[in-house]
Amino acid sequence: MEHNSYLSVDILESYDLFLRRKRLALLILLSVLAALMLFAAASGSSGITVSQVLETVLGRGTTQTEAIVFRVRLPRVMTAVAVGAALALSGGELAALGLEGPAIGAAQRRLAAHILSHPEDNTPARLLALARAELSGP
């Protein structure tokens, strides 16, 4: 009985360490994403620097930098982040269904083609059936 209590304490400590590492990894990845978004918003032909982008986002930019950053650059950056997140989620979902490796890309292309070519037939049940058909192969 005493042995089990030590075991459960070890498991709880191990899980707590896992959660702390997971939070740290998430914080690092979000910081890298924010930095890359700033660099992406600063790159272009107008010569705006990262510090000017940061000042503009914080509300201290000029009219010209506000127009460039808020009307052109940030919408593009936010769209790129949203599309990347959507592709990551769809790849994860297809992997959960059992599709891995190059099959994920092929399945995503076939599902996207179906969605675009048959807009009237895009019910969740139909799309799930198409994804499951990918599992069974050709």
pLDDT digits (tens, 9 = 90+) for 89-105: 877 777 777 766 776 67
Q: Is the overall model pTM greater than 0.85, yes or no?
A: no
Q: Which residue has the tokens 């992406």?
A: 40
pLDDT digits (tens, 9 = 90+) for 106-125: 777 777 777 778 777 777 77
Q: What is the 3-state secondary structure (H, E, C) of 31-90?
A: HHHHHHHHHHHHCCCCCCCHHHHHHHHCCCCCHHHHHHHHHHHHHHHHHHHHHHHHHHHH
